[in-house]
Structure 1
Amino acid sequence: MPTSLACTYDPALRLLTTELIGTVTVADAERWNANVGSALAAIPDGTSFRWLSNMHGYEPADLNAHKGMRATIPSALVRHGFLTGYFALTNMPPVPLHYDRGVVCAAIAHVHHDLDKMARYREKIASPTEDFFTDLAAARAWVLTR
């Protein structure tokens, strides 16, 4: 499967869509991190957005590639006033929220191909503003209602 590192912002829908798909190397993870940063920078100051995170088909080439990308979404969410449920799965101390440029994430839909993982996350940490899917169309429909 070809690697996709796409990150786009649709101002009409207030929707940030990020893709990390295929076998991802450390260099890919670094490029994707930069793409996420650029897409977030395109969101107008003082506005809110919704996030569709598509990792359906993502496979790290090695542990370093996984380490290179795993904190990107949670840290970006914290910088935009959103405390992801992922933090509830760790023993981390409370994380202070920030509001970079007054930009706030209103909701996020995570998409991944691992049905068991998404079911576990949905059961343990899903909320009215964060949910987990294996189907991209269902995730998109859900996040656009938030």
Structure 2
Amino acid sequence: MTAADAIITAGPLTTLQVGDFVDNAVCPVGGDGCNGIMTLLFNFDVNNVSFEYGYGNPGDFASLTILNSVNAILGFLNLTSTSDVVTADLSSFGTIRSILFNNSASTGAGYAFGNITYNPASVVPLPGSLPLLLAGLGGLLFLRRRRAV
């Protein structure tokens, strides 16, 4: 992921720490450890999103809110793993524009999130022949009205 693809912002009373435990990770620091809130906002719609998080401790908990391009909620995902690094797969949520990571309920050290992968959502192009068809139909309608007069 590059800076041109997305923006990561810290939530209230949170700062961002880069490179914590998980490779290429961002940790929303909000007190002791990664117990804050952050938002990942893509600059375009994406599909097949996945990321790694990990090295959780007992009491670690994060909730994710997944949103589309009009900020409608697509769903929620709770993370509770206490093992090493785990991959979270968000592909079942469809086309995503932003993800809110909320670690603030963690009583452990919290999670760092990294190695985010995704595919840009494909845009369905307008067929090139559609404007020609509409122009032709408009021309026929114009000729028909002209002959009727």
TM above 0.5, yes or no, is no
Bigger radius of gyration, 1 or 2?
Answer: 2
> Which protein has the bigger helix share?
1
Name the structure, 1 or 2, with higher relative contact order (CA <8 Å, separation 6+). Answer: 2
Q: TM-score, normalised by structure 1?
A: 0.32
> Which protein has the bigger strand share?
2
